[in-house]
Structures are given as structure tokens and as C-alpha cells.
Amino acid sequence: MFVSVEIEWDWQRLGRFRGLVDGLVVAQVALVSDSDGADPGWIVYLTGRSQGLDGRMPTEFDAMAAAEAALFRPEAGSSG
């Protein structure tokens, strides 16, 4: 049976959003750049994981889509 889950994206402040499901934070996206302010991009952190997803996304919308795809993709090698 397929259950539809929707992430609600909440703006926290300039350059930062958090994703919520039923009021629980499941992801965050943030705008980052190099120390000299060059090469900006959006990074994605998922709750319960110590590192962000690989790579930077060009827009906050791309970052949110990457977070949603990672959250709803079955983990490789997991059983259950």
C-alpha cells in the first residue's frame, strides 16, 4: 500500500529552510559559499545523518527536491 507523505517547507531565515512531516523536522537546506563568498550553493542535511548529501544544489528548490528524493528513496541494502 502506498502512503503519500508531503514535506512542508518552512522558511527559517535568509538562506535556510527546514522540512517538516507532521511537525517533525526531517531535513534542512542552507545556502553556503566559500570563505571568500564565491561559489554559492545549497546543501542538504537529513535528520539522523551526520553528513549532508553530496554536492551543492544551484537553488533552494533543487535542494528541497533532493531532500525529498533522498527521504523517500529506499536505502540500499536495508532490510525490513
2-55 pLDDT, tens digit each: 556 789 999 999 999 999 999 999 999 999 988 887 778 999 999 998 889 999
What is the length of the chain? 80
78 assigned to some structural domain: no
75 pLDDT exceeds 80? no
Give me the domain span that covers residue 15. Answer: 8-71
2 assigned to some structural domain: no
51 assigned to some structural domain: yes
Total domains in the chain come to: 1
Provide DSSP, 11-66: EEETTEEEEEETTEEEEEEEEE--TTS-S-EEEEEETT-SSPPSS-BSSHHHHHHH
1 pLDDT exceeds 50? no
- Reported pTM: 0.80
